[in-house]
């Protein structure tokens, strides 16, 4: 079986998953948007630095890496084995997560807003399977996939684009991939490459998420892994992409901190999606380009961290919401509360994984993990 692990992809995914803890904690204590639990005091700085600073590239990076992993899985398992692996890796954890891991977030949203005062056992059958006022976000209670929308989208993308994925992975597409790599060597084409992502954002969102936008990013990651010529063409632009990408996110962060309203520096929908698509392209290309330097960094702990990343992702947001809810009565300053919840939720999520998930084969199945091999007797 072909190798299905790349150290650079593992490191990037581990970092992106760990960043979700402070990101979702900042959603609790930031000044705008909604979330399951909101802090009594909120910080503009947290919104500007963490939410604005990460939104353009964070989830796109995870979709890009998921596309690359899909390419490696097809190479290792073949088409039929790939589909079976996707069911085990995506569909089973999604169903389990939505029914077991996610509901406490919606329940605590009801408690925090005063729309429910009873226990969880009575709330779950009566309220979770209804659609709340904020739709599938579940921010005010009701049914929601919560953060597992990412897993749902990945499974849907595999099902919808499977014939295309097989073609892109095969020899029949080698010539087309070569033409694409040659085009990306042209500076004008490279800097215009974000245009399809921008156009995808014109499609109306479903549940505040843009389906074609993330699909294109998933396919871009697949192509990046499928052809070394494409990866090399992008890697050569990593320095310029990093500079431009950082400039893209620095402008809105500075604007928020200085009190310049968003409509001033992003005048309307067209400029908004142009910024997001361009910043995403530059920063993801820079991250995967510089991330290639991590290919040779393979400490003994890396396989264990890589294995833990997905269960950590599934668990983390529920732990963040629980920790933030428990801290509400103390009415702490937002930055102090942010640090406490980030550290506490990150630590407790890791403990849950180490105690309840990693050692137990029946539980591992529901988190998309392979069964733990029994050690041979001495």
Distance of CA 169 to the CA centre of its chain: 24
Q: What is the pLDDT of residue 362?
A: 94
Contact 342/25 with Cβ under 8 angstroms?
Answer: yes
Residues of the chain with pLDDT under 70: 1-4, 133-135, 252-274, 375-378
Domains in the chain: how many in total?
1
Q: What is the pLDDT of residue 134?
A: 66
Domain that holds residue 255: 7-86+172-363
The answer to whether position 244 is within a domain reads yes
The answer to whether position 189 is within a domain reads yes
The answer to whether position 274 is within a domain reads yes
Q: List, for residues 173-215, the tens digit of each pLDDT value.
A: 989 999 999 999 999 999 999 999 999 988 888 877 899 999 9
Secondary structure string (H, E, C) spanning the chain: CCCCCCHHHHHHHHHHHHHHHHHHHHHHHECCCCCCCCCCCCEHHHHHHHHHHHHCCHHHHHHHHHHHHHHHHHHHHHHHHHHHHHHHHHHHHHHHHHHHHCHHHHHHHHHHHCCCCCCHHHHHHHHHCCCECCECCCCCCCCCCHHHHHHHHHHHHHHHHHHHHHHHHCHHHHHHHHHHHHHHCCHHHHHHCCHHHHHHCCCCCECCECHHHHHHHHHHHHHHHHCHHHHHHHHCCHHHHHHHHHHHHHHHHHHHHHCCCHHHHCCCHHHHHHHHHHHHHHHHHHHHHHHHHHCCCCCCCHHHHHHHHHHHHHHHHHHHHHHHHHHHHHCCCHHHHHHHHHHHHHHHHHHHHHHHHCCCHHHHHHCCCCCCCCCCCC
The answer to whether position 100 is within a domain reads no
The answer to whether position 165 is within a domain reads no
Q: List, for residues 339-350, the tens digit of each pLDDT value.
A: 999 999 999 999
The answer to whether position 192 is within a domain reads yes
Q: What is the pLDDT of residue 52?
A: 75
Q: What is the pLDDT of residue 55?
A: 86
Contact 43/49 with Cβ under 8 angstroms?
Answer: no
Query: What percentage of the chain exceeds 90 in pLDDT?
Result: 69
The answer to whether position 1 is within a domain reads no
Q: List, for residues 240-292, the tens digit of each pLDDT value.
A: 999 999 988 887 666 666 665 555 445 445 556 667 888 999 999 999 999 99
The answer to whether position 123 is within a domain reads no
């Amino acid at each position: 079986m072909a190798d299905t692990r790349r150290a650079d992809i593992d490191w990037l995914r581990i970092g992106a998953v760990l960043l979700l803890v402070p990101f979702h904690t900042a959603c609790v204590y930031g000044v705008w948007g909604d979330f399951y639990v909101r802090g009594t005091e909120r910080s503009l700085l947290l919104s500007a630095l963490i939410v604005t600073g990460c939104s353009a590239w964070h989830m796109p990076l995870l979709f890009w890496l998921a596309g690359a992993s899909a390419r490696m899985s097809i190479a290792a398992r073949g088409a039929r084995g790939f589909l079976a692996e996707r069911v085990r890796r995506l569909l089973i954890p999604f169903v389990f997560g939505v029914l077991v891991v996610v509901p406490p977030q919606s329940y605590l949203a009801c408690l925090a807003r005063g729309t429910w005062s009873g226990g969880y056992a009575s709330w779950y059958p009566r309220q979770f399977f209804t659609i709340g006022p904020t739709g599938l976000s579940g921010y005010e209670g009701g049914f929601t996939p919560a953060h597992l929308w990412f897993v749902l989208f990945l499974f849907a993308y595999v099902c919808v684009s499977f014939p295309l994925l097989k073609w892109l992975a095969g020899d029949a597409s080698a010539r087309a991939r070569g033409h694409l790599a040659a085009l990306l060597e042209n500076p004008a084409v490279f800097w215009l490459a974000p245009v399809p992502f921008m156009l995808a954002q014109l499609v109306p969102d479903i549940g505040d998420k843009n389906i074609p936008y993330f699909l294109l990013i998933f396919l871009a990651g697949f192509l990046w892994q499928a052809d070394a010529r494409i990866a090399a063409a992008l890697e050569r632009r990593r320095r310029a992409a990093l500079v431009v990408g950082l400039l893209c996110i620095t402008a809105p962060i500075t604007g928020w901190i200085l009190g310049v309203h968003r409509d001033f520096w992003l005048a309307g929908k067209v400029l908004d999606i142009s910024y997001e698509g361009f910043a995403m392209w530059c920063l993801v290309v820079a991250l995967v380009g510089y991330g290639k330097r991590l290919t040779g960094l393979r400490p003994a702990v890396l396989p264990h961290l890589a294995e833990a990343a997905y269960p950590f992702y599934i668990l983390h947001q529920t732990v963040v919401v629980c920790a933030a809810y428990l801290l509400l009565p103390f009415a702490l300053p937002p930055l102090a509360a942010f640090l406490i919840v980030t550290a506490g939720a990150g630590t407790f999520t890791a403990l849950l994984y180490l105690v309840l998930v990693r050692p137990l084969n029946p539980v591992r199945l529901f988190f998309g993990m392979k069964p733990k091999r029994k050690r041979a007797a001495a």
